[in-house]
Structure 1
Amino acid sequence: MPQNTSKNVAVIGAGAAGLVTARELQREGHNVVVFERENQLGGIWIYTASTDSDPIGVDPNRKIVHSSLYSSLRTNLPREVMGFRDYPFVATKKDDRDSRRFPGHKEVLDYLNDFAAHFGLIGLVRFGTEVGYVGLLENGKWKVSSRKRENDVVFANEEEYDAVVICNGRHTEPRIADIPGNLFKVLCFKEENSLILKNK
């Protein structure tokens, strides 16, 4: 298709990458749908005190927590570096905001919400909708299968898109190194903020 043709594009994930991708696609005149499995935007910047039921992450039936944030986390980059070019990450005078140059995680999440509201992106997001399959069809389009749970009822949906952009992060499935002769696994327990060596 010609470059200036408006396309239907699916963006998977409403974290920082998904939001800026949706913004750029929308700016170019494309029709965008953002799929977000959580009920809010922000991706890895959504803090929860919950932890995985299996800290190593090998149990397929474990309770999965998609955030690796801890309560006192602050950015290791100044806010000037973290902001988007057309929406600088400047300190605001709003209540409950963090004006430090290296702000806490809540300030980053607030910034992403401000960005989404400013550019009208929230209406593009299908919250609570998880994509289970993406595949290329013979006609050159992409099949996207998703499901949404409402009141213990799962609604499945299949749609076709001209393009798909995957922005869903990579922090769900742990990668445990299989090193010959490795006698120990290191487990990090958030609640204790300590490292514990456990024999295999």
Structure 2
Amino acid sequence: MWRNYVVVLIGNSLSAFDISWEVAGVAKEIHIAARTVMDGTFGKQPAYDNMWLHPMIKDVCEDGSVNFLDGSIVIANIILHCTGYKYHFPFLETNGIVTVDDNRVGPLYKQIFPPALAPRLSFVGLPWKAIPFPMFELQSKWIGGVLSNRFTLPSQEEMMGDVEAFYSSLETFGTPKRYTHCLGDNLVKYNNWLASQCGCPAFKDWRMQMVLVTIKSTLTHLGSYRDEWEAQHLVLQGYEDFIKHTSKQVC
């Protein structure tokens, strides 16, 4: 069925990468619509003969034709949205204390606690472009420590001041509200801050290096990035750290 399909993907982050490479092996054509491109290169992509990268979509017509901003047109059978998530909490009633505005959930102290409702209400897992599971663990440890009175939060006023300063910094750098929960280059700093609050060790260098190697691999080995691994030494470093950690626990 897929052999005759033309598929358009909207988005150019990790989900779009994964899906495009999987579908390219069975579909007739893959066309990716991206808001930004890392190296600024649109057009036919390496590794596959049936994959093209375009700027964003201008409009879509009833006959299935997709018009891109560069003037190119394709007739699509399927359009897949790889555009991330919209935060939506229909079950949560806070009388307007916590809101979702242009995908900003707030106000939240350190992406977790609403100052006016802390520590009774907290959020785990909102940040994106992160190393997710270690972050979830650290967030949960901090929340658990606060709820058990092992850790103390700043006053409501101090937390709100921190939130306002954070929002102000985003505005200064022209960062849209919808990127409030994007960690990106700040992910290590954020995780290490959480670790310091929980009394946990900071992220080891090998962890961040492993992330960077993985990202590089996806870009340089488009068709085989899952099979091409050039960082076995980082795995060994991680294993050594694990042994040290478990040894300390046993002692």
TM range (shorter): 0.3 to 0.5
Q: As a proportion of its length, which structure holds more helix?
A: 2
Q: As a proportion of its length, which structure holds more strand?
A: 1
TM-score between both structures, scaled by the size of structure 2 = 0.31
TM-score between both structures, scaled by the size of structure 1 = 0.37
